[in-house]
Every structure is written in structure tokens, then in C-alpha cells.
Structure 1
Amino acid sequence: LCIIIPADLLRFHLPALEKVYERFLGFLMRKNEKNSTNGVIWYILGVNVALQFSPRDVATAAILILSWADTAASTTGRLYRPSSPRLPSHIPLLPLLRLKIPPTQRKGWTGFMAASLTGALIAVGFWSCIAPVRFGGAEVSWDFVKGVVVGSSGMIRGGGSEGGVLKGWMGLSVLSVVTGLVSGVVEAMDLGSLDDNLTLPIISGGCILGFLKFVGWIGSFWTS
């Protein structure tokens, strides 16, 4: 960031630098980023915030959602946008509290489904094959044998193989469905001028962590 931010600011004020910048790095930029802040800045900020405030495995899953689910939604949306029905103007979040999420008007159901499916596959692949490899699975928020091992405080807690909440294939299935829905909804959200590279890992990581903390809180009463 110490290099990218000054370079990004200077290119707006120095035409010669802007030409050199776009000549060598233009292929890495979106069309709208040529006249606005480079998306790499938002990407680095989003990733660092997710890593700072979420457990390592949840943050990693959120970064994978940004890398793959967002790409899947964009690719599918471009391919099938003419024939894909648009998402509704508002997605109910908590109907009883009348909380609704406004999706981006250009997003369609095909992109939403692609992001959701990719997010679900990320959860299955990551928590079943990749996360357990790190330190023997000692720092995971969800374990196949123990289930949810993150407490309501957000701290990873120990526990035996007995009495786990959402463990085994059932737990992995629920976690994958939740992760998939989070991926699809967050990818489709309209947050004004905020960049997806910033908001997607932060919000998706926060939602997944919130779900695990809620389940862990419920499980503390269930197993006590």
C-alpha cells in the first residue's frame, strides 16, 4: 500500500506517469479504474481487514469467495445477462424487522446462482480438505469431528469429539449452504460507490463468523 497508493495518486496529476502506468499495468485494471482508485488498493484493504478481525480460516474462506465466487458471478453474468431475469429490487433479510438488502440493478439470477454455488463449493472443499491441514486443524472454527469450535466471543475454543454442534456431513452441508447464500447475497449487494474488493471479504467473513458464533452460542446451551 505504501507504494501503490502514492503511485495511484500521482498518475492522476502527472500525465506522463499515467501513460507509463497504464502501459505496463493497464491490463490489470478495469475500464472504470482508469479514472478512479485502483481496485488493488481496495483488495489489499479488504483482505487485511478480514484477516485482522476474523479467525484465519474464516478470513481465508472470505478471500476465496472474493477470488472465485465474484469471478464466477461476473463471468456467468456476462455470458447469460440478456436472457437472465433480474434480481428483485430488494431481498428480504429479516422480514419481521423489515430489513431488506438492495441488490445491484444490473445483477441477474444467473450471477447470483453462480456465486452461491461457488461459495458452497468453496466451503466444502476448504473446510473438508484444506483447513484441517493447518496445525492439524487446531485453529479452525469448524471441524468435521468436533463441529463448531468457535465460541460466542469469537475465540477458538477446544473441545472433545463428543457433543459437538453441526459436525460431520450434516454440519458441513449446513455450513456450505450458509456460505453459498452469503456469497450470492453479498456479491449482489448494492453499496453505492464502495468497491467489491473491499466489501465482499469483510461482509462475507463477518456473516460466516456471525453464523458460527451464533451456532456456538446455541450449542453452549445445548451441550451444557
Structure 2
Amino acid sequence: MTARDPVLVDAHEPQPAPRRRRSLSTASARSLSSKRSPSPIITFTAAPLSPDVKGVKNITRKVIKTLEGLGHLDSSDMDEQEEDYETDEKLDLSEVEAVLNGTAHFTSGSSPENFKSRRSNGTAIKAAVSSPSDAVGTSREVEQKKIDWEIPRKLLHSSIGFFTVYLYVSEGNVKNVVLVLWTALAVIVPADFLRLRYPRFERIYERCLGFLMRESEKKTSNGVIWYILGVNFALTVYPLDVATVAILILSWADTAASTFGRLLGSKTSRLPARMPVLRLPLAPRKSVAGFIAASITGALIAAGFWTWIAPFRSASTDVSWWWDGGVRASSSLLGSLGIDGPGLGGAGGWVGLCAISLMAGLVSGVAEALDLGSLDDNLTLPIIAGGCILGFFKLLGLFSS
């Protein structure tokens, strides 16, 4: 009996053999699992999402976490992607999409190289959005790549100036020109009303004349209407030479500002909200390059017109400034001073021409850059430019007399 007790006791004790078998089974299982082919690493490529589909990000997170738990996703990649998603939520989606169009080009590759390139692009995007100066520079690069030169529109816009010069030199009747413009306006205004009211007519209209319109004009009134109103106002109210210069400024200075603003605007700063000294409201969307281009073009228009174009017209009574005599003063002023004759009040030659050119250039740049709310610059530019030039002539004639 005593000899059996150890045996009975040993029978109830845990046997070492099963433990070895369990350890062997565990080791064999590990060796078998190690021999299996590794599961492919899945990476997800983030694309810019609109605010309406933000919920997709949360679903993507859950899928990533599930795959990580199953061993089908590398945890390091998941952490990096999770960090990307958290950062993207803090960014403005509109700004990210704008930057993506110019700097980041994501592809749906699954290799680590593609993921690393996506990460580097994402880092560049975050830096561009977080730094205002870098964001402005990047947006300007995107704008430069997508420049719409509006060549048909600018050609039509500039051709009006050459037609105006021809009518002035050939001594065309101003009343006939104004009548033709009013007749054209009587046709354009009803057509524009029908375009904005009836979609079928709008499709026909834009199919024929849409290449001359800006995208902003397709839902509002046509800029040609304001162009004709500004030209008719100048021809009706101002002297013929002043009105001609105002129309040339509208035709050529405005075109130069738009062209050089698109070409060099990204390399110069934007205009301030207020003009120094005078505190006039300026359009911050316009650039210093466009302002300089409009000013130089306006100065050249004034100098060229009163030096070479005005002498071609035989009638000298409707010219406000002559090279030899200077500014033509008003008849009432000359009568009060007891002066008879052609009414030339001085400030001729290079001094008068330089003064007129500088003034016309400054007026052209400021009038083109003014921000007058909903008023179209095709209407305000000839009115402001012509009024300022006429007022300068009167002051110059007063002081020179």
C-alpha cells in the first residue's frame, strides 16, 4: 500500500508530458504561422473630399482599424494615415482643394513609394495652408497656370479704340455715332433680358456670343451695355477731344491693365483697400502690375493724341489743347479778362504736354482700379477719366491765363 501511494499521488499531479506537448503545439503553430506568406500591406490614398462627404473619413478609419486588428495592415502606415486624417479635418477643404490642383497629384498606388510621395505632398499642402505667405504664393501659381486671356473679348475691346480714332480723324458726325450706339443698345438690352429670363434663348445666345462674355456675365447683365452707356455719356457731355481720349482709355488702358495683371500680377503685390492720401476705395483683387500698365497706357494715349492725332482734324475750335498755344480757356473766363482771339491760355509745349500726360496716366490707373461696388468699370472708367481730364484743363487754363 505504501508503494502505491506515490503512484496514486503522481497520478493526480499535473503531468509534465502534456505540458511539453502543449509547448510543442504552440511552437509548431508559431513556426507554421511564420512560414505562411505575409499578408499584403494595404494603403489608402486620400483624395480631397467635399464637405458633404465628411462621413466617409470616419468609415475609412473604422475599416483601417479593423484591418489592423486582423493583421492585414501595418500599424506604422495606419498611424501615419490617421495623423493625415486628423490634420485634414483641421484644414479648410476649399483651400486644400485649391492647393491640391497646383501642387499635389495623388495616385491610387499601394506601394510604399507612392505612399511616401503622397506624404511629402501632404506635408507641402499643410505647410502651404498654415503659412499665409506660402499659401498666397501657391494660389498665385495656380492662377498663373489657369490664366484665361480672353483674347476674343480683348480684341473686340481694343478695336473700338482704333474705330474711334478713325472717326475722329475723318471728322465723322458725333450725333450719328451716338444715334448708332443708342440703336444698338435698343437691340442688346431686350436680348439680354430674354437671355436671363428664358434658358432656351440663353443657350442660343451663348452659343453665338458666349466666347465674348466672361463667366461672371453669364448670370448678370452683359458688359457691352455698360460699355455703350459710358461711351455715349462721354460723347454727349464732354468736348469731342476729351471724349475721344476717355474712350481710348476705356479701350486700351483697361485692356493693358487686364493683360499685364494676368501676366505679371502674381509677381507683384495686390492693391491696398484704400488709396493713400485720397483714401479712395480700390479693388484688392487687382494688382500693382495692372495699375502701372493702365497708368503708362493712359499717359501715352494723352501724349500721342494731343501731339499727333488732334492736329489731323481741320476744325481747331473743338480742340482743348494745342502744342503752340496750350490750353483753350473758356470764353466766359477770357471775356472777364478782356482777352480776344482764339482763346489759348498758355501751358503749351513740353511743359503742358508732360503735365497733361502725367495727370491722364494717374487718372487712368486710379479709375481702372476703383472699387465702386456693383458699378461696371466699362461705365465708370470713361466718365471718371473724361471728367478729370476736362477739370484739369479748366484749372490749367485758369492758372496759365
Q: Which of 249, 252, 258 does residue 74 from structure 1 map onto? A: 258
1 or 2, which has the higher helix percentage?
Answer: 2
**Which has more radius of gyration?**
2
* 2:302 is the counterpart of 1:118: no
Which amino acid is 2:212 matched to? L
Tell me by how many angstroms 1:81 deviates: 1.6
Q: Which of 90, 97, 101 does residue 280 from structure 2 map onto? A: 101
Distance 1:29 1:107 in 2: 20
The residue number in structure 2 matching 1:40 is 224
* 2:190 is the counterpart of 1:9: no
Q: Closer, same or farther in 2 for the Cα pair 1:154/1:22, shift >3 Å?
A: farther
Tell me by how many angstroms 1:90 deviates: 1.2
The residue number in structure 2 matching 1:204 is 385
Within-5 A mapping of 1:1-224:
1-92=185-276, 95=277, 99-151=278-330, 159=341, 164-220=345-401
Distance 1:77 1:25 in 2: 25
After superposition, the C-alpha distances for 1:9-58 in whole angstroms (9 at most, x for unaligned) are 01111111111110111111121111110111000000001111110000
Which amino acid is 2:382 matched to? P
Distance 2:330 2:275 in 1: 29
Distance 1:12 1:110 in 2: 35
Which amino acid is 2:281 matched to? P
Q: Closer, same or farther in 2 for the Cα pair 1:141/1:33, shift >3 Å?
A: same
Secondary structure of 2:279's match? strand
After superposition, the C-alpha distances for 1:65-104 in whole angstroms (9 at most, x for unaligned) are 0001011011111111211112222113xx4xxx421110
Which amino acid is 1:194 matched to? L
Distance 1:181 1:80 in 2: 20
Q: Give the aligned CA root-mean-square deviation in angstroms.
A: 2.1
Distance 1:182 1:200 in 2: 9
Q: Closer, same or farther in 2 for the Cα pair 1:171/1:123, shift >3 Å?
A: same
Q: Determine what percentage of the aligned residue pairs are the same residue.
A: 60
Tell me by how many angstroms 1:158 deviates: 7.9
Which amino acid is 2:400 matched to? G
Distance 2:262 2:332 in 1: 41
After superposition, the C-alpha distances for 1:166-201 in whole angstroms (9 at most, x for unaligned) are 101211111111100000111111001100100000
Distance 1:11 1:160 in 2: 52
Which amino acid is 2:189 matched to? I
Native 8 Å contact 1:104 1:190 kept in 2? yes
Q: Closer, same or farther in 2 for the Cα pair 1:110/1:14, shift >3 Å?
A: same
Native 8 Å contact 2:261 2:289 kept in 1? yes
Which amino acid is 2:250 matched to? L
Native 8 Å contact 2:347 2:397 kept in 1? no
Distance 1:148 1:89 in 2: 35
Q: Which runs of 5+ in 1 are unaligned?
A: none
Q: Closer, same or farther in 2 for the Cα pair 1:33/1:158, shift >3 Å?
A: farther
Q: Closer, same or farther in 2 for the Cα pair 1:109/1:152, shift >3 Å?
A: farther
Secondary structure of 1:171's match? helix
Q: Closer, same or farther in 2 for the Cα pair 1:209/1:17, shift >3 Å?
A: same
Q: Which runs of 5+ in 2 are unaligned?
A: 1-184
Tell me by how many angstroms 1:137 deviates: 3.2
Structure having greater relative contact order (Cα 8 Å, sep ≥ 6): 1
> Which segments of structure 1 move beyond 4 Å, counting only runs of 4 or more?
152-155, 157-161
Secondary structure of 1:139's match? coil
Distance 2:193 2:340 in 1: 47
Native 8 Å contact 2:275 2:281 kept in 1? yes
Secondary structure of 2:356's match? helix
Which amino acid is 2:394 matched to? K
Distance 2:258 2:384 in 1: 18
